[in-house]
Structure 1
Amino acid sequence: MPAANQPTSRVEAVHTRGVGTPIVTLDSVGKVYGNGTVALRDVNLAIGRAQFVSLLGPSGCGKSTLLRLIAGLGDFSSGRIDWTQSPAENQAGDDFKRNLGFVFQEPTLMPWANVFDNVYLPLKLTRLSRKSARPRIMDALAMVGLEKFERSYPRELSGGMKMRVSIARALITRPSVLLMDEPFAALDEITRFRLNDDLLRLWAGHDWTVIFVTHSVYESVYLSNRIVVMAARPGRVTADLTIDEPYPRSEAFRMTAAYNDYCRIVSAELHSSMDEAPE
């Protein structure tokens, strides 16, 4: 197997040297829990505007913890997380990092509410009326192909449809940054592939930055233009790779030699990170 940062016969995964003007920068971020567990240590990462970045690593390496810290859903123990913004993006004077959408591992839908009301929740919390919110809700449902299911309840939906509702709810606030924590891990392979394609279609049509947590090499290569590999606890970045393949991507891409070569390269980096002893 070739070294992870060396070319194969078809492709080369290169270590990222720059991301232009970053939208968010993590500087020596660490996280220590109250019981003394060191979850993250000295994480340095800059993520550029409109990138699709996958955080890849084994279970327990701190991927989800890092995503939550980026979202402001917890306190870090050391370091800094800085957001870049411009007046055009922040005309209301709000903190830019609030312009986030978060999709969790589970759909976390309210079982007593129909699809419309589940998607309406973030706007309801801002006191926007149902009547005023309806066009945005229907637009979000149309994005995920559920415009005909607004009156359905979660118990009437498949696993994939529930996740689509969760994505629509994340999109209802029209975020600039979409954070996704292994959203498709519990789904069957066919549904997962379909949602991968739908996610790329949505991303291509908007100027989002996507940060996507996964433990699947194959999913990360298919979706991303950049993969950040993390080592097991304490979580830290061990590789930062560019996937230099054009979009749009389709099922045919999975059958190419280039895709297989990238998967081998990324797998080698992942195995290397698992073997790396903490400092």
Structure 2
Amino acid sequence: MDTAYLSRPHEEQAGGAEPLVSVRNVSKRFGNGTLAVHDVNLNLGAGEFISLLGPSGCGKSTLLRMIAGLGSPSGGTIEWPTTGRDASGEPQRDLGFVFQDPTLMPWATALANVMMPLTLKGVRKAEARERAAAMLALVGLAGFEKSYPRELSGGMKMRVSIARGLVLRPKILLMDEPFAALDEITRHRLNDDLLELWWKEKFTAVFVTHSVFESVYLSKRIVVMAARPGRVMADLDVDAPYPRDELFRTSPEYAHLCRVISGKLKEAIGS
């Protein structure tokens, strides 16, 4: 038996703790008849870094958007057992969302973009400014508060987007292939910075990617999905310690883990 990873039951939760989010038998069929997601079961635990890995069309982004409340399941339920419900009876989703594109307001400075969620929450302007500036500093953009998106590189714009997603200090940060359009050097640097931020802030990260290498480098856990319809084929623990750095990225252990996960992905694609 390969000890580099362990398959886990969908219901298993480390230490018996209640999950932050429970996805139960969730399916999604679009109006044109396409079954995008079929019978997915998944628990998201506190402090985990989970990658959703799979080919295009396997429902990764659809599942992420349903967890965020940006779409409704056709079947099954998505439960937030520890957060309660709002006045309308909907779950109080304590999350931030980072899209594949930074989706920044082009007329607003980096600081104003990060302040936006705080402003919408009714936070006083002085406090919002202070908290947004602190978050920009945390993602490595101190000194760029007054810069506009057109003045920032692709990697810097994505840092602003991550800062905006985290400025409310959510329990869960959902990321939909945020580094896919970046060059390899920038992508590696942002992978390192994201891990450092996750380690400091202790949020749960759910990260959509096509990249085996990225998923192994970042994750405590990798959920491998197959397409047509999108479904979970494997739920794997990555048994490699943190912090992870360039030494890990060039280690035999990392290469071995990538081979193992590549094999699982190949099985999923061929299923």
Name the TM tier (shorter chain): over 0.9
Gaps of 5+ in 1: 1-5
**For residue 15 of structure 1, what is the aligned residue in structure 2?**
7
The partner residue of 1:146 within 124, 141, 144 is 141
The partner residue of 1:164 within 159, 167, 173 is 159
Alignment of 1:44-59 (within 5 A): 44-59=41-56
The partner residue of 1:37 within 34, 43, 46 is 34
Residue type of the alignment partner of 1:34: G
* Conserved 8 A contact 1:71-1:97: no
For 1:16 and 1:168, the matched residues in 2 are separated by: 32
Q: Secondary structure at the match of 1:42?
A: strand
Deviations along 1:146-185, one digit per CA (max 9) or x if unpaired, are: 1200000000000000000000000111101010000000
For 1:149 and 1:130, the matched residues in 2 are separated by: 19
**Identity value in percent:** 59
Q: What's the CA shift for 1:84?
A: 2.4
The partner residue of 2:79 within 74, 82, 88 is 82
Aligned residues: 264
For 2:83 and 2:119, the matched residues in 1 are separated by: 27
Residue type of the alignment partner of 2:249: R
Q: Does 1:60 align with 2:60?
A: no
Q: Secondary structure at the match of 2:40?
A: strand
Alignment of 1:242-257 (within 5 A): 242-257=237-252
Q: Secondary structure at the match of 2:191?
A: helix
The partner residue of 2:193 within 198, 201, 213 is 198
**For residue 3 of structure 1, what is the aligned residue in structure 2?**
none
Q: What's the CA shift for 1:23?
A: 1.4
* Conserved 8 A contact 2:176-2:207: yes
For 1:176 and 1:95, the matched residues in 2 are separated by: 17
Residue type of the alignment partner of 1:70: I
Q: Does 1:274 align with 2:269?
A: yes
* Conserved 8 A contact 2:79-2:91: no
Q: Secondary structure at the match of 2:174?
A: strand
For 1:187 and 1:109, the matched residues in 2 are separated by: 16
For 1:68 and 1:51, the matched residues in 2 are separated by: 19
Q: What's the CA shift for 1:86?
A: 6.5
* Conserved 8 A contact 2:5-2:237: yes
Q: Which moved more, 1:118-127 or 1:59-68?
A: 118-127
Q: What's the CA shift for 1:125?
A: 1.2
Q: What's the CA shift for 1:12?
A: 2.3
Q: What's the CA shift for 1:96?
A: 6.2
* Conserved 8 A contact 1:218-1:263: yes
Deviations along 1:89-124, one digit per CA (max 9) or x if unpaired, are: x9xxx9764210100000000111111111111111
* Conserved 8 A contact 2:174-2:205: yes
For 1:60 and 1:28, the matched residues in 2 are separated by: 19
What is the RMSD of the two structures over their aligned residues, measured on CA atoms?
1.7
**For residue 131 of structure 1, what is the aligned residue in structure 2?**
126
For 1:95 and 1:39, the matched residues in 2 are separated by: 24
**For residue 105 of structure 2, what is the aligned residue in structure 1?**
110
For 1:210 and 1:269, the matched residues in 2 are separated by: 22
For 2:166 and 2:83, the matched residues in 1 are separated by: 21
For 1:272 and 1:67, the matched residues in 2 are separated by: 23
